[in-house]
Chains A and B, each alone.
Chain A
Amino acid sequence: MSNKLDSKIPAGPLAEKWTQYRSTVPLVNPANKRNLEVIVVGTGLAGASAAATLAELGYKVKAFCFQDSPRRAHSIAAQGGINAAKNYQNDGDSVYRLFYDTIKGGDYRAREGNVYRLAEVSVNIIDQCVAQGVPFAREYGGTLSNRSFGGTQVQRTFYAAGQTGQQLLLGAYSALERQVGLGNVKMYSRHEMLDVVTIEGKARGIIARNLVSGKLERHFGHAVLLCTGGYGNVFYLSTNAMGSNVTAAWKAHKKGAFFGNPCFTQIHPTCIPVSGHYQSKLTLMSESLRNDGRIWVPKQKDDKRHPNDIPEEERDYYLERRYPAFGNLVPRDIASRAAKERCDAGYGVGPSKMAVYLDFAYNLKNKYGRAEASKHGIENPDDATLIRLGREVVKEKYGNLFDMYKQITNEDPYEVPMRIYPAVHYTMGGLWVDYELMTTVPGLYALGEANFSDHGANRLGASALMQGLADGYFVIPYTVGSYLSKEIHTKPIDVNHEAFVEAEKAVQSRLDQFLNVKGTKTVESYHRELGLIMWNKCGMARSEEGLKEAIQEIRALREDFYKNVRVPGNQYEFNPELDKAGRVADFLELGELMCLDALDRNESCGGHFREEYQTEDGEALRDDEAYRYVAAWEYKGGNDWGLHKESLEYENIKIAQRSYK
């Protein structure tokens, strides 16, 4: 295993790196592709697009997902949109600008080469998705429509109402199913990967559990692609799906894949606040709402008035006040911290006082109402008319989100401002990968949210979909060839090979371990407890003291877990509690590494905010001298990790204090 991190960024000018790479990367001829098997774990945007594309190229693909269908992967829940440097709006966008915005948005903690490639292929993604029949929003002339997202000043976000992720995933899913129908992909739904099998240092397959029969299965692959998403559920409450987990990535980590920047977590500013202790997950209200919603709190502390009764001059539009250049469209990390700051200072609203208002009244009436009125030739419209007209437009733009908000909170956002609060949404950290998306284990790749790349310390809105699809459709099909071209002589390895047997045995003993504790506490209760530790001490604000405490608490909790957890049922049946036990057990280990990483990073950047390191006006204080690196953690057994640093070089961008003022 390499101890030195080689990011394998191609030499040459930034704008030519990818073209150069593609033109010179070794190829695998079609006849050999048929003999090469690729395992794809996870079928979200990255996994489905990778599996489909590799199968189109001729590789033999096996795809795995734990859900009942590949279409259910959590990419489906992405609401707002996908960025692409198409410059269809003629507003000054370019590949370079998307690249620049992404690096800056990530607080200068991402690799130039990767991000530039991402911006380059972003345009192909839109073309590909449209060709598949993804019904993006369109203008009356038939061209594609765009909207704005946080951290940018151009309109480059393509969308399909508030269901962009769904439409993109269904596009990738249909491409995947096409290959399943053609026999090029073998699909394994309701299967969970429980270990990576390595032989002579190379990834050669996986151990998976059939979640219906409970049986363990061994699968060989010349290469293994982990497209298993992020680990936001370590916080228990997040906008992730209930099943989202770190298990696949964590098993890979324990088999030698370094974990990159684990502490970089994105807390999304606009989520529906927690309503009770029984809460199982949090629901996002798309960032696109910040196009038209204005965020405010009362100027007066503990104001008990109904929001509609608080007059304009007694409202504090704190984002517009603090960041006049970007206003309500500042990046997520900044918007989240600003909300927390207001609530901590006692200006929060709602029953829990841990919420701020997201208010559409102004734009509904003044922006859309007036535009519609003038479109219809109504002169001097009264307020009621403006509201009626504006409401129609808002309904078309955000109707499904407004309905969802009302369904959850029982309040009508057309009438009353939404109450929102930040919640865990995305993890920029993940398995460390090089330019080819390969982890430190040869033959083992990580794509999409599962890897650490591209977003630095903070991801811009509408960039996750872009990255997932870029990795799957346009990056891995080239880069995997670089490795597989050297594997054409490797015959499929019999799954009775001792490495498979050993790996399966280890998985089996872990399952037995869970089932044999027979304690008294539910898996859920441990998860909830872990989440609370993580949220309080490794969440939006972190401190050395808190993180040190958190590590001790997590260790104690983990110990307790193996003494007192109760996992009902047995292995050889459909047993969601057993599945959950495995996932929570891995979160209990990951949580410690996240705290360790946060403790190591004595600076504030992006989603990582250390209370000790802030400017006088409460902005994140980066330390580029000491921490301009990717922290890649090597697992060394037990509670021991070694840190490897990949220094980040900026040759094309001048590092600056990130400012949205």
Chain B
Amino acid sequence: MGSEAMKITLKVWRQPNSKAEGKFETYQLDHVSPDMSFLEMFDVLNEQLIAEGGEPVAFDHDCREGICGMCSMFINGRPHGPKQAVTTCQLHMRSFKDGDTIVVEPWRAQSFPVIKDLTVDRSAFDRIIAAGGFVSVNTGNAVDANSILIPKDTADDAFAAATCIGCGACVAACKNSSAMLFVSAKVSQLALLPQGQAERENRVIAMVDQMDKEGFGSCTNTGACSAECPKEIDLSNIARMNREYVRAKLVSK
């Protein structure tokens, strides 16, 4: 704790709005504490920019504890930076070295248009969930919770898939800008659980159709999504979705 302050050079993507051309700007920060989070470093930068009469860098962030999925920086060529299983907000400056130059960009995908600077529009994800990422059970319809017995392993697998925070790092990392990991996580969760069986076929078809409509690329199994996923969602979910989808296409009426 409390080691020496670091000097960091930031190359940050600046783009005033979705229509404008963007470009990289370089900023110098001289007193970065290794215990700072990456976003706290941006707070410092922004305070500095405002004090100088400049425009602060717009970036998405909210919970700052790695769970809301809002933060979304592409850092030195990788979503959420160099550490495994960590969101940008949980990335600390001790993961960098004094004198480093860090390149920070927004997620880049046709389906995630830039709103401003490092902020992108990820509403495509909401539309995919709206297409089928649910169990159609109105409030009040439920039976007693323990009347649905679910083997622990199944519940654990469903939970592991359900931990997706919808940050979009999978799309950002994928060279194809594919959203398969995101979509498959939800498809898997509900395909594994007995509660999801009734809508199993319709769900996967509707969600994949919406995913395609949004303009995400196709999966080529590079595995980048899973490797960069801050929640380490497994590639087996994509395999499961493929199975579910083909099965649904072959058997559904």
Question: Which residues of A pack against B, CB within 8 Å?
Answer: 49, 52-53, 56, 67-74, 76-77, 86, 88, 124, 126-144, 160-161, 163, 165-167, 170, 173-175, 177-178, 180-181, 187, 189, 212, 239, 241-243, 275-276, 278-281, 283-284, 351, 403-404, 407-410, 473-474, 477, 520, 522, 524-525, 566, 568-569, 573-577
Contacts and interface: CB of A to CB of B under 8 A. Distances in A.
B67 A76 contact: yes
A140 B137 contact: no
B21 interface: no
Given A53-B139, A131-B135, A72 B69 contact: yes
A576 B155 contact: no
Given A175-B134, A276-B35, A524-B47, A69 B125 contact: yes
B130 A524 contact: no
Nearest to B129: A177
Given A133-B196, A524-B47, 15 more contacts: A56-B139, A74-B62, A133-B162, A142-B151, A160-B162, A177-B134, A212-B115, A241-B68, A242-B64, A278-B40, A278-B43, A283-B65, A522-B47, A522-B50, A574-B17
A294 B152 CA distance: 29
Interface residues of B, number: 83
A189 B60 CA distance: 13
Contacts of B69: 71-72, 76
B130 A181 contact: yes
A67 B67 CA distance: 14
A77 to B, nearest CB: 5
B68 A72 contact: yes
B208 to A, nearest CB: 15
A524 B116 CA distance: 20
Interface string B111-135: 0000110010111011001111111
B70 A67 contact: yes
Contact of B152 (A69, A140, A524): A140
A133 B193 CA distance: 7
Contacts of B145: 86, 126-127, 129-130, 136, 144
Nearest to A86: B145
Contacts of B90: 404, 407-408
Nearest to A50: B139
Contacts, number: 232
A404 B1 contact: no
Contact of B17 (A135, A407, A573): A573
Contact of A473 (B119, B139, B152, B156): B139
B56 interface: yes
A52 B155 CA distance: 25
Given A180-B130, A279-B40, A130 B148 contact: yes
Contacts of B136: 178
A75 to B, nearest CB: 10
B64 A281 contact: yes
Contacts of A138: 150-152, 155
Nearest to A396: B156
A177 B166 CA distance: 14
> Which 7 residue pairs spanning A and B have beta carbons closest together?
A142-B149, A181-B130, A131-B142, A174-B134, A127-B142, A135-B159, A177-B130
B189 interface: yes
B92 A408 contact: yes
Contacts of A574: 17, 58, 115-116, 119
Given A135-B159, A173-B129, A74 B68 contact: yes
Given A174-B134, A566-B50, A52 B139 contact: yes
Interface in B58-115: 58, 60-70, 83, 85-86, 90, 92, 94, 115
B54 A568 contact: yes
B1 A351 contact: yes
B47 A410 contact: no
B220 interface: no
A125 B180 CA distance: 31
Nearest to B117: A574
Given A568-B54, A574-B115, A574-B119, A72 B62 contact: yes
A67 B90 CA distance: 19
A134 B135 CA distance: 10
B43 A68 contact: no
Interface in B19-72: 33, 35-37, 39-40, 43-44, 46-47, 49-51, 53-56, 58, 60-70
B252 interface: no
A351 B58 CA distance: 34
A124 B33 CA distance: 48
Contacts of A77: 63, 65, 67-68
Given A132-B137, A351-B1, A569-B55, A278 B152 contact: no
A430 to B, nearest CB: 20
Given A133-B193, A142-B151, A280-B43, A275 B1 contact: yes
Candidate in B1, B35, B62, B122 with the most chain A CB atoms within 10 angstroms: B62
B35 A275 contact: yes
A104 B247 CA distance: 55
B55 A568 contact: yes
Contact of B135 (A132, A137, A139, A242): A132
B242 interface: no
Nearest to B41: A278
B172 interface: no
Contacts of A477: 139
B190 interface: yes
A132 B134 contact: yes
A274 to B, nearest CB: 10
A86 B145 CA distance: 9
A525 B37 contact: no
Contacts of A72: 62-63, 68-70
